[in-house]
């Protein structure tokens, strides 16, 4: 079995190292994953996965144009029975490679989010011209996959809208030893909000910065800690410089570092425009920290407004600022939401054994089908 993701090769996609800048690394012993090859380093190959150089220009275009060939090479070399693919674009490439290679590999499409966001919330406005093609590729991959796994009610709805019923629904794996089994710390004395995610429009970082300007105007001691990297990095850097120490930015943290940052915060802010589920949301709940989020994607699947967090309407920085002020100034509210969130988090936390069992059931079902 192998799996494919956007990370420049073939392997399983993991956030185990919490590289919120978009890179991935090894999840655990025996599980492979992909990273971009360091500059000027020759192609690296071992018996589980291979890396190749990325080019300086037209990286994304060349990646997708060459992907069917690269996948076809792996199909002939490795001869897998099952391919787990995250992303409809990569799944389409596998469908092409499967036909060209004459392979009978079964395709499991792992729907992690809304594929329509790829041309609507990433890149230049010119990408919008590709909306019809992008939407059609999603339909094609869903209709021709041998099985489909989704994360949430939201992603299940996307699949159903395309005419298929998901074969399995379960959340991404989270290291319970880091986020659940460690004792919950009391709320910190400093009023601090945490954001963890890629610095991209899809994560709503622009709305968060707009909301935080309003928070700083009325809450002199409030601090925002931003963890992540991405194309909006320069905007965040300028915001940090102008904040007089009221905004802290950390490009990358390990899982233990993320958990510690949660413990040092009153609440997590999740202002994403598109979110398949929001793993960081239930990691925050597991640490006994409420979540202030927006009613977008799978966020409401995790956060119950008024019980485990506060949900506001999308694209409304003023409402987001008001919600952040509430948890920052009302310690009793923040403690109550955090305690309820801690109780609710267990629903989303699978042990390694449970996670493996869910996949084994999915694989068995595909293997037994014609």
From first to last of its 370 residues, the chain has per-residue pLDDT tens of: 454 333 333 333 334 333 333 333 333 333 333 333 334 444 445 566 666 666 666 677 788 889 999 999 999 998 999 999 999 999 999 999 999 999 999 999 999 999 999 999 887 888 899 999 999 999 999 999 999 999 999 999 999 999 999 999 999 999 999 999 999 999 999 999 999 999 999 999 999 999 999 999 999 999 999 999 999 999 999 999 999 999 999 999 999 999 999 999 999 999 999 999 999 999 999 999 999 999 999 999 999 999 999 999 999 999 999 999 999 999 999 999 999 999 999 999 999 999 999 999 999 999 887 6
Q: What distance in Å separates the CA atoms of residue 25 and residue 189, rounded to the nearest whole number?
A: 35
pLDDT of residue 54: 63
Q: Which long-range contacts (CB under 8 A, 24 or more apart) does 8-11 make?
A: 8/34, 8/35, 8/36, 8/37, 8/51, 8/52, 8/54, 8/63, 9/34, 9/49, 9/50, 9/51, 9/52, 9/70, 10/34, 10/49, 10/50, 10/70, 10/71, 10/74, 11/48, 11/49
Nearest to 204 by CA among 131, 119, 114, 273: 273
pLDDT of residue 24: 35
Q: Where in the chain do CATH 3.40.50.2000 domains reside?
A: 176-348
Residue 46 CB neighbour total at 10 angstroms: 8
Q: What distance in Å separates the CA atoms of residue 341 and residue 325, rounded to the nearest whole number?
A: 19
Residue 130 CB neighbour total at 10 angstroms: 14
pLDDT of residue 123: 78
Which secondary-structure segment (H or E) carries 227?
Answer: strand 223-227
Would you say how long the chain is, in residues? Answer: 370
Residue 319 CB neighbour total at 10 angstroms: 16
14: tokens are: 């993991």
- The CA-to-CA distance between both ends of the chain, in Å, stands at 17
CATH no. for 176-348:
3.40.50.2000
How many Å separate Cα 300 from the centre of its chain? 15
pLDDT of residue 5: 37
- What architecture does CATH give domain 2-173+350-368? 3-Layer(aba) Sandwich (3.40)
Asked if 151 and 171 touch (Cβ cutoff 8 Å), the reply is yes
Q: What distance in Å separates the CA atoms of residue 299 and residue 273, rounded to the nearest whole number?
A: 10
Asked if 298 and 159 touch (Cβ cutoff 8 Å), the reply is no
β-pairing, 168-169 with 147-150?
parallel
Radius of gyration of the chain (CA): 21
Q: What distance in Å separates the CA atoms of residue 172 and residue 169, rounded to the nearest whole number?
A: 10
pTM, rounded to two decimals: 0.84
SS (H, E, C) 147-204: EEEECCHHHHHHHHHCCCCCCEECCCCCCHHHHCCCCCCCCCCCCEEEEECCCCHHHC
| Torsion over CA: 22, 26, 31, 35 (sign) | positive
Asked if 165 and 365 touch (Cβ cutoff 8 Å), the reply is no
């Amino acid at each position: 079995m192998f799996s494919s993701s956007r990370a420049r090769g073939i392997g399983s996609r993991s956030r185990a190292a919490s590289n919120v800048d978009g890179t991935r690394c090894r999840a655990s012993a025996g599980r492979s994953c992909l990273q971009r090859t360091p500059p000027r380093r020759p192609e690296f190959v071992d018996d589980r996965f291979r890396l190749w150089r990325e080019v300086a220009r037209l990286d994304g275009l060349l990646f997708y144009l060459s992907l069917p060939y690269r996948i076809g090479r792996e199909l002939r070399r490795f001869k897998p029975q099952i391919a787990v693919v995250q992303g409809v674009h990569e799944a389409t490439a596998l469908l092409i490679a499967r036909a060209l290679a004459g392979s009978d590999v079964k395709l499991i499409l792992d729907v992690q989010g809304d594929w329509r966001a790829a041309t609507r919330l990433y890149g230049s406005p010119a990408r919008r011209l590709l909306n019809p093609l992008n939407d059609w590729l999603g339909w094609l991959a869903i209709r021709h996959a041998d099985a489909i796994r989704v994360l949430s009610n939201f992603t299940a709805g996307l699949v159903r809208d395309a005419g298929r019923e998901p074969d399995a629904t379960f959340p991404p794996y989270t290291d319970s030893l880091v986020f659940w089994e460690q004792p919950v710390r009391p709320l910190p004395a400093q009023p601090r909000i945490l954001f963890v995610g890629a610095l991209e429009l899809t994560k709503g970082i622009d709305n968060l910065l707009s909301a935080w300007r309003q928070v700083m105007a009325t809450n002199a001691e409030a601090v925002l800690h931003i963890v992540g990297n991405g194309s909006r990095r320069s905007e965040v850097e300028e915001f940090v410089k102008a904040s007089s120490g009221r905004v802290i930015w950390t490009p990358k943290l390990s899982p233990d570092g993320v958990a510690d940052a949660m413990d040092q915060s009153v609440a997590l802010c999740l202002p994403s425009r598109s979110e398949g589920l929001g793993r960081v949301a239930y990691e925050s709940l597991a640490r006994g920290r409420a979540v202030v989020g927006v009613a977008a994607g799978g966020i409401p699947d995790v956060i119950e407004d008024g019980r485990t967090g506060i949900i506001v309407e999308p694209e409304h920085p003023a409402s987001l600022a008001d919600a952040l002020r509430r948890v920052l100034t009302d310690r009793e509210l923040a403690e109550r939401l955090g305690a309820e969130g801690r109780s609710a988090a267990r629903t989303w936390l699978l042990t390694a054994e449970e996670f493996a069992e869910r996949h084994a059931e999915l694989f068995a079902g595909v293997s037994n089908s014609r």
